[in-house]
Amino acid sequence: MSTTSRILVVDDDAGGRRLTRATLSRAGFDVVEAEDGAKAIAAVQQGMPDLVLMDVSMPVKDGFTACEELRALPGGQNIPVVMMTGLDDVQSIERAFRVGATDFITKPINWPILAHRVRYMLRASAAINELHQSQRRLSNAQRIGEMGDWVWSVTDDRIVPSDQAWRILGLDPAQGSVERDTLLGCVHLEDRLRVREAFAKAVREGHGFSIQHRLVRRSGNVRHVHQQVEVVERHSNGGALHLVGAIHDVTQRTDAEEQIRRLAYYDTLTGLPNRVLFMQQLQAALHYAERHHSQVAVMFVDLDNFKRVNDTMGHGAGDELLKIVSDRLVRSIRVVDSVSRVSQLDGDTPSIARLGGDEFTVMVTDVNGADDAIVVARRLVESLCEPVTIQGTELYVGGSVGIALFPDDGKDIETLLKNADNAMYRAKETGKGSFHFYDPSMTARAMERLNTEVQLRHAVDTGDFVLHFQPRIELANRRITGAEALIRWRHPERGLVLPEHFIGLAEECNLVGRIGEWVLAAACRQLALWRDAGLPMLPVAVNLAASHLRDPALPTLVAASLDRYQLPASAIEIEVTESVMLSDPEASIRNATELHNMGVALALDDFGVGYSSLNYLKRLPVSSLKIDQSFIRELASDASSAGIITAIIAMARTLGIGLVAEGIEQEAQRSFLLQQGCTEGQGHLFSVAVEADAFASLLRRQDLPAGRPALRSVTGGARRA
**Selected range binding ligand C2E among 78-86, 272-280, 412-420, 541-549, rule: CB under 6 A:** 541-549
**Is 704 an interacting residue with respect to ligand C2E (CB under 6 A)?**
no
Select from 444, 498, 636, 655 the one that contacts ligand C2E (CB under 6 A).
498
The C-alpha R_g of the chain, in whole angstroms, comes to 48
Closest to 511 (Cα-Cα) out of 573, 465, 446, 579: 465
- The 572-601 contact track toward ligand C2E, x by CB under 6 A, reads ---x--------------------------
- Give the dihedral sign, CA 120/126/129/133: negative
CA separation for the pair 618, 625 (Å, rounded): 13
Measured CA to CA in angstroms, residue 495 lies from 239, 451, 484, 489 at distances of 92, 16, 21, 8
Near Mg ion by CB under 5 A: residue from 606, 608, 659, 678: 606
Q: Which residue from 67, 16, 14 is spatially nearest to 38, judged by alpha carbons?
A: 67
DSSP tag of 703: P
Q: CA-to-CA distance for 102 and 67, rounded, in angstroms?
A: 10
Span from 33-41, 302-310, 601-609, 670-678 in contact with Mg ion (CB under 5 A) = 601-609
According to the binding rule CB under 6 A, does residue 464 interact with ligand C2E? no
Handedness of CA 662, 467, 696, 525 (dihedral sign): positive
Spell out, one character per residue from 352 to 381, where the chain touches Mg ion: x when CB under 5 A holds, - when not: ------------------------------
Q: Based on CB atoms, which residue is closest to Mg ion, 605 or 680?
A: 605
DSSP 533-576: TT-----EEEE--HHHHH-TTHHHHHHHHHHHTT--GGGEEEEE
The least CB distance from residue 445 to ligand C2E, in Å, is 21
Least Cα distance to 605 among 553, 661, 552 occurs for: 661
Judged by CB under 6 A, the residue of 665, 674, 696, 716 near ligand C2E is: 665
Residue closer to Mg ion, measured from CB, 49 or 681: 681
Closest CB to Mg ion among 149 and 605?
605
Judged by CB under 6 A, the chain residues 18 through 37 that form the site for ligand C2E are none
Q: How far is the CB of 683 from ligand C2E (least distance, A)?
A: 3
Per CB under 6 A, which of residues 139..158 are in contact with ligand C2E? none
**Among 274, 332, 543, 623, contact with ligand C2E (rule: CB under 6 A):** 543
Q: Applying CB under 6 A, which part among 19-27, 178-186, 498-506, 552-560 lies near ligand C2E?
A: 498-506
Q: Hey, which residues between 531 and 590 contact Mg ion (CB under 5 A)?
A: 543, 575
Choosing from 32, 322, 397, 545, the residue that interacts with ligand C2E (CB under 6 A) is 545
Kindly list the distances between the CA atom of residue 284 and the CA atoms of 271, 288, 652, in Å, as whole numbers in the listed order: 21, 6, 61
Please, which residue, 499 or 621, has the CB nearer to Mg ion?
Answer: 499
Residue 260 interface partner, choices Mg ion, ligand C2E, none, CB cut-off 5-8 Å depending on type: none
- Under the binding rule (CB under 6 A), the answer on residue 659 touching ligand C2E is no
Nearest approach in angstroms of CB 684 to ligand C2E is 4
Q: Is the peptide bond before 407 cis (omega within 30 degrees of 0)?
A: yes
Among 267, 517, 605, 680, binds Mg ion (CB under 5 A): 605
Provide the 3-class DSSP secondary structure of residue 416: helix
* Closer residue to ligand C2E, CB minimum distance, 501 or 700: 501
- Closer residue to Mg ion (CB): 166 or 607: 607
3-state secondary structure of 62: coil
CA 423 – CA 442 distance, rounded (Å): 7
Kindly write out the interface string for residues 641-680 of this chain, putting x where it contacts Mg ion by CB under 5 A and - elsewhere: ---------------------x------------------
Q: Which CB, 235 or 494, lies closer to ligand C2E?
A: 494
Query: How far is 659 from 682, CA to CA, in rounded Å?
Result: 11
* β-strand partners of 647: none
> Is the Cβ of residue 125 or residue 669 nearer to ligand C2E in the bound state?
669
- Counting contacts by CB under 6 A, is residue 68 touching ligand C2E? no
Burial class of residue 256 in the structure, from the number of CB atoms within 10 Å of its CB (0-12 exposed, 13-18 middle, 19+ buried) = exposed
The secondary structure of 267-297, three-state, reads CCCCCCECHHHHHHHHHHHHHHHHHHCCEEE
How does DSSP classify residue 187? Answer: B
Residue 472 near residue 541 (C-beta atoms within 8 A)? yes
Contacts for 377 with CB less than 8 Å, ≥ 6 apart: 299, 401, 403, 435
CA distance 312 to 583: 5
Phi-psi region of 692 (alpha: psi -120 to 50; beta: other; left: phi over 0): alpha
Q: Select from 547, 682, 712, 719 the one that contacts ligand C2E (CB under 6 A).
A: 682
Q: Closest approach of Cβ 557 to ligand C2E, in Å?
A: 14
62-92: burial string, b at 16+ Cβ within 10 Å, e else: bbbebbebbeeeeebeebbbbbbbeeebeeb
Q: Which of 76, 555, 568, 663 binds ligand C2E (CB under 6 A)?
A: 663
Nearer to ligand C2E, 201 or 684 (CB): 684
Q: Which residues contact 260 (CB under 8 A, 6 or more apart)?
A: none
Q: Which stretch in 241-249, 323-331, 540-548, 612-620 sits in contact with ligand C2E by CB under 6 A? A: 540-548
Instruction: Answer yes or no: are the C-beta atoms of 25 and 96 closer than 8 Å.
Output: no
Please state the closest distance from residue 539 (CB atom) to ligand C2E, in A: 15
Least distance to ligand C2E, CB of residue 503, Å: 5
The reply on whether position 517 binds Mg ion by CB under 5 A is no
Asked if 499 interacts with ligand C2E (CB under 6 A), we say yes
Cβ proximity to ligand C2E, 376 vs 473, nearer residue:
473
x/- string (CB under 6 A) for ligand C2E, residues 159-188? ------------------------------
Q: How far is the CB of 604 from ligand C2E (least distance, A)?
A: 11
Stretch that binds ligand C2E, among 3-11, 24-32, 91-99, 495-503 (CB under 6 A): 495-503
With CB cut-offs between 5 and 8 Å by kind, which of Mg ion, ligand C2E, none does residue 545 bind?
Answer: ligand C2E
Binding flag, residue 641, ligand C2E (CB under 6 A): no
Burial class (CB in 10 A: 0-12, 13-18, 19+), 566: exposed
> Among the candidate windows 102-110, 223-231, 408-416, 661-669, which touches ligand C2E by CB under 6 A?
661-669
Residue 679 C-beta: closest distance to Mg ion, Å: 18
Does an H or E element contain 83, and which?
A: strand 81-86
Q: Taking the CB of residue 219, how many other CB atoms lie within 10 A of it?
A: 7
Under rule CB under 6 A, how many of the chain's residues touch ligand C2E?
25
Shortest spacing between CB 572 and Mg ion, in angstroms = 13
Give the whole-angstrom CA distance, residue 378 versus residue 433.
10
Nearest to 422 by CA among 406, 408, 436: 436
DSSP 440-498: THHHHHHHHHHHHHHHHHHHHHHT-EEEEEEEEEETTTTEEEEEEEEEEEEETTTEEEP
Residues in contact with Mg ion by the rule CB under 5 A: 543, 575, 605-606, 662
Residues in contact with ligand C2E by the rule CB under 6 A: 470, 486-487, 498-500, 503, 512, 515, 519, 543-545, 575, 605-606, 629, 662-665, 682-684, 689
